[in-house]
Structure 1
C-alpha cells in the first residue's frame, strides 16, 4: 500500500536510515561492523540506507572510505535494498568525482547537500546540482539543510530542478512546511523528512517517507508510524509519533550532534558504532546514561 497522497511508490523506499559509519577502536573504518548494522536495519524495517551523510560523518571520511563503505554494505544487504551515498561537498568538481565513484561502487543514488560555507546564490546553486546530476547515471536526492550549510534551496529553485530527469528526491531539513507543500504540489519530487519529529506531519501531506538518524537505534518503531498511517489509523500514527518525541528530543535537540548520541546508544546496546572522529567528541557518562534510560522507556512502552 502507498501513501494515498502520492501516485507511485518512491524510488528509494519510504523508511530510510541515515546510517552511522562504524569505526574500530583504532579509529579505522569498521566494514564488518557496517555490514552487521546494515543487515539489522534492513531486517527491522528500513527500506533503504543513506550512507556517508552527516550522520555518517562524511566530512571526516576519505573518498576511498566512502567507496569501500558502499561496496561492503551492498555485499551485505544484496541488490534489492536501495543505497544512497552522500557525495555533497563545497566543491562542485569534487562532488562530481564522488558521484561517479558512488556509481562505480554500487550505489543506487546519491545525496547531494548544498555547498556549505561559500553560500552560492540560487542560480549558482542550481547550476551545481545540474552539473552533478549530469555527471553520472544515478538519481539525486537533494539535501536541504540551511541550518548546517548556511543557504536554503529555495522552493522556486527546487521546482526548476525537478525538471531534470535524475533529480528525483529531497531530504527536507528546511523547517519550512509552507515551502515544502508548495514544492509537493507542483512537482513529482519524493520528499523525505530529515527531522524525526516531522515524520508523520510531512507524510500526511504527501511526502515519500523519512531519512532518519534515530532509526539507527529504533528502526521498527519509526517504521510503525508510517505503517499505521497507511492502514488508516491516523490516531494511532499520531500516538506513535508523540511517543517517540522524548527520545527524538534527547538524541537530536539536547546539545549533542545526532551522530554522537546515536553512536553512544549503539555502543551501549552492543551494536557497531565505535567512537566519533574529531572534531566531534564521544558523549560523556551522564549523557549516555540519560540516552539509555530514554531508549529503554521508549521501547518498553
Structure 2
C-alpha cells in the first residue's frame, strides 16, 4: 500500500522575482508563512511559480533553496514538467538530486500527444527517478486530457502515486480505476470538496498563498468528518477565488500576496500586471474576507 505524499493542502507557491532573478529572501518569508499557517506541503516551481519562464539553472536553484529552507518540515514537491520528454527527465533528475521529496509533472502541452504518447512520456520520467511523481492533468492549459484508463495504466508504475486533477468530471472514474493507494488531489480551488467527497486526498492550491490556514482547515475538517464546517469554508472562499482567477493565474495571486504585505514582485512576461478594475475587485474581496483593511 503506497502512502500519499501528503494529505491536506499543498500550496502552489508563487516565485518572487526581481529584475535580476529570484528574490530568495522574500521566498523564504513566504515559505515560513505557509509552514506556520498549517500548509501540508510546498509545491515549488509549478504553474503558479512561473516555472515556464525560468532557465534551468534558476529553476533547480530555486527548488534547492526551497528544500533547504523547508528542512524536512513538510514535503517539497518540485514542478519539473515539460512538453519535451528529455527536458522533463533532466529537470526531474536534477530536482531529485537537490533533495525534492516528490515531483509534479504536467501533461505535455502544445505537442498534443496521443494517450499512448502520454503513457510513454510519464513512464520514461518515472523510470529516470526514484522519488514519487504526481501527474498534473490540466486540460484548460494544455488542451489535452489524460484519460482515466491512461491514468490507471500509469498508476501501476510504482513511483507514480497521484494525480492533480483539474477535470472534475472524471475524478470518480479515476478513483474507481486506480484504487485506494493512488491519490487524487483537486487542482481547482473551487472544487476541493467535490474531489474530497469522491475519495480525494486534498488540494494543490493557489488560494493557499493567501489563506493557507483556511485551505488546510477545509480539507482537515472534511477528512475528520466535519462536513458542515468544511462546506462553510468552501462557500466562504468562492468570491475570493473568483477574484484570484479574474485573469490568468498567477497574475491575480501575485497581486494578492503583495497586498498582504509580502513581496512577490511582478509576473514575468508575457504575463503582465493585473488590470486596475480586477485589482479593485481583488482588494474588495480581500477586505470582505478580512485579509486586509
Residue in 1 that maps onto 2:113:
120
Relative to structure 1, the CA distance from residue 231 to residue 137 in structure 2 (aligned partners, 3 Å threshold; closer, same or farther) is: closer
User: Is 1:259 aligned to 2:250, yes or no?
Assistant: yes
Distance in 1 (CA, whole Å) between partners of 2:49 and 2:277 is 24
Residue in 2 that maps onto 1:291:
282
Residue in 2 that maps onto 1:20:
14
* Mapped contact 1:13–1:82 kept (Cα < 8 A): no
Relative to structure 1, the CA distance from residue 236 to residue 13 in structure 2 (aligned partners, 3 Å threshold; closer, same or farther) is: closer
Relative to structure 1, the CA distance from residue 206 to residue 71 in structure 2 (aligned partners, 3 Å threshold; closer, same or farther) is: same
- Quote the RMSD (CA, aligned, Å): 1.6
User: Is 1:275 aligned to 2:266, yes or no?
Assistant: yes
Residues 125-161 of structure 1 deviation map (CA, whole Å, 9 limit, x = unaligned): 1000000000011111000011111110000000011
Relative to structure 1, the CA distance from residue 70 to residue 13 in structure 2 (aligned partners, 3 Å threshold; closer, same or farther) is: farther
Aligned match for 1:139, one of 114, 129, 132 = 132
Give the match's secondary structure for 2:204: strand
What is the TM-score of this pair, normalised by structure 1?
0.92
Residue in 2 that maps onto 1:109:
102
Residue in 2 that maps onto 1:4:
none
1:269 positional shift: 1.6
Distance in 2 (CA, whole Å) between partners of 1:204 and 1:231 is 12
Residue in 1 that maps onto 2:216:
223
Aligned match for 1:180, one of 158, 171, 177 = 171
* Mapped contact 1:99–1:136 kept (Cα < 8 A): yes
Count of residues paired in the alignment: 290
1:299 positional shift: 3.1
User: Is 1:72 aligned to 2:65, yes or no?
Assistant: yes
* Mapped contact 1:162–1:168 kept (Cα < 8 A): yes
Aligned match for 1:161, one of 145, 148, 154 = 154
Give the match's secondary structure for 2:123: helix
Distance in 1 (CA, whole Å) between partners of 2:58 and 2:21 is 9
Structure 2, gaps ≥5 residues long = none
Distance in 1 (CA, whole Å) between partners of 2:253 and 2:203 is 17
Give the match's secondary structure for 2:144: coil
